[in-house]
Structure 1
Amino acid sequence: MIVVRTDDFEVYHGVVTELRERGVSFTTLDAAADEQLPEGTEALIVGPDEEVSVEDPVEFVRADPDDPRAAVDHALRLLRGGGERTVVGVDPGERPGVAVLSSGTVVAAFAVPVDDAADVVAEELAEAGGPDPVVRVGDGARLQGSRIIDALPDDVRVELVDETGTTPYLGQGARGMGDVLAAVNIAHIEGEPVDSRDVEPTAGEIRVVKTRSREVSPENRELPDDLARRVALGELDVEAALAEHREGTASGGTDDADGDGD
């Protein structure tokens, strides 16, 4: 059982709200009353500067009022025995699903822009602690997956997972959850360890970028192959590539804005 005992209102409100939102059973004690911990207490959450004295097997967690979630995550790890391995599953794409598992239980889930995915994973691993964490990345969406893998810290174990069949059927009311649920499934599958993933955009992927450039450009400008390739690799976004192309054509380059090659 988790017990919250603090006279810090911000800590109390933040931690209790987090516990309730996650459906965790807990009880609270009045810190000023010096009440005894109830039988069965396994984790005690207190404020950042409060004095605390507990006996085994009770362990305590100091909660930061600005980050109550971290304290709740820590307390839950203590209830599950602590020290368990953290596994992060990533379903790559333009908005990857990210699932954080601790001892097989999902403790956090995200759907974030691809450029933010590696930072989210790194932050989750730093907060989780525990031995030998691993990040498992699906092998679909090759270009986005490569960008995520290459942006992860060098000391993180990364596995490339065959993601065939990991996206579940979504019933009524589950729209938008597919990538996150796929990330959970990916986290459960052992993959091949990788340090990086070098990929070259296919002709089809480059055509997609060119089509996108015409759609967003007021002058129906199509990017040339070299700039479209850099967009596909994530080195530039479409707007930056279009700006570079405009600058090049304005300074004397060839402007093939209609994309017909003439």
Structure 2
Amino acid sequence: MQRCDVTIATRNPKTYYLLIKILKALNLEFVSCTPDSGLANDARVVVTTKVESVDGANGTVVLVEEEPDPMTASVRIMCAYFGISNPKEAIIGVDPGMRFGLALVIDGNVIYTKTVTSPPSAANLAQKLVKHLDSLFPESALSIRLGTGSRLYSALFLRSLGELTKNTNIELVDEKHTTIPNGYTKDQLSAILISGRPGRPPSPKDTRLTNKRGYIRSLRNLVRRLSDNKKRMSVKEARKVLQGESSLDDFIDIDP
């Protein structure tokens, strides 16, 4: 029997459905079976729930919750797929803009990519990734590399990011020549390329913004777009956000 990439070994129909969605998003080939089936023996990675057990598996067994979180499950499955157990370095690349691309790259392997719709959503996902990576690989170096192609959105991301674990390094990266056609979305590919470029540490001025007309217009359009025209941000409110007197979080919802 030819060895497959991943086997889903569960009797739980809801878990099975959710794992199919996760594996399809990761573009991994998979088969499914019950935990006691011999199919699990031939898989590179076996994914099952914490309340089930798989006997005789030759590959790496990944245990997930019965309702697995897509991000954490994806990271653990991909790390198992690449045989990553004690990595030297994990880097989160961030491409800021009207849509944010994020990419997690561990020891040169692209592990997870995601596109989100706002600076707070991007910062929230980065925080979750940092927390998860710190629990998986506490001895590994961890960096967030943020592109500087959009002054407005990189500053808003840094403001939303808040405090991270002590071993997390933040770098600002020149975004020139980071957009190349590929199977990923434009934002995600740019984030992957950003992750591979060393940058400089941020300074206080990187979060300061002026009341440029373009910034005000961009913020107002963002709030209107993300609320399906149900919310409006006034010019005065936009200026307060730019000056740091109020937060963009007060006007938009964070992506799930």
Query: What's the TM-score, normalizing by structure 1?
Result: 0.68
- Which residue is equivalent to 2:191? 183
Q: Which amino acid aligns with 1:161?
A: V
- Structure 1 residues 156-214: Cα deviation after superposition (integer angstroms, max 9, x where no partner): 211111112223479xxx9xx43333222211211123375544434xx4333566899
* Structure 2 residues without counterparts, runs of 5 or longer: 225-233, 252-256
Whether the 8 Å contact between 1:90 and 1:99 is mirrored in structure 2 is yes
AA paired with 2:160?
A
Structure 1 residues 89-110: Cα deviation after superposition (integer angstroms, max 9, x where no partner): 1122343222223333252221
Alpha-carbon distance between aligned partners in 2 of 1:115 and 1:17, rounded to the nearest angstrom: 25
Quick check: 1:143–1:233 contact (8 Å CA) kept in 2? no
**Aligned pair 1:77/2:65, yes or no?**
no
Alignment root-mean-square deviation, CA: 3.6
Q: Residue in 1 aligned with 2:126?
A: 121
With the length of structure 2 as denominator, give the TM-score of the two structures: 0.70
Q: Please report how far the alpha carbon of residue 7 of structure 1 lies from its aligned counterpart in structure 2 after TM superposition.
A: 1.2
Cα deviation, 1:11-67, whole Å, max 9, x if unaligned, reads 122213322343312232223xx3335654332211231134446x53322222322
Larger C-alpha radius of gyration, 1 or 2? 1
| Runs (5+) with no aligned partner, structure 1 | 242-262
The AA in structure 2 aligned to 1:154 is L
For 2:176, the aligned partner's letter is T
Cα distance in 1, alignment partners of residues 115 and 33 from structure 2: 33
Aligned runs of 1:69-218 on 2, under 5 Å? Answer: 69=70, 70-83=72-85, 84=87, 85-102=89-106, 103-128=108-133, 129-130=136-137, 131-152=140-161, 153-155=163-165, 156-168=168-180, 177-194=185-202, 197-202=205-210, 205-208=211-214
| AA matched with 2:11 | D
Q: How many residues align?
A: 224
Q: One-letter code of the match for 1:44?
A: V
2-structure distance, mates of 1:29, 1:90:
37
- Report the Cα distance in structure 1 between the residues aligned to 2:245 and 2:114, rounded to whole angstroms: 27
The amino acid of 1:89's aligned partner reads G
Whether the 8 Å contact between 1:97 and 1:180 is mirrored in structure 2 is yes
1:245 alignment counterpart: none
For the Cα contact (< 8 Å) 1:150–1:197, is it kept in 2?
A: no
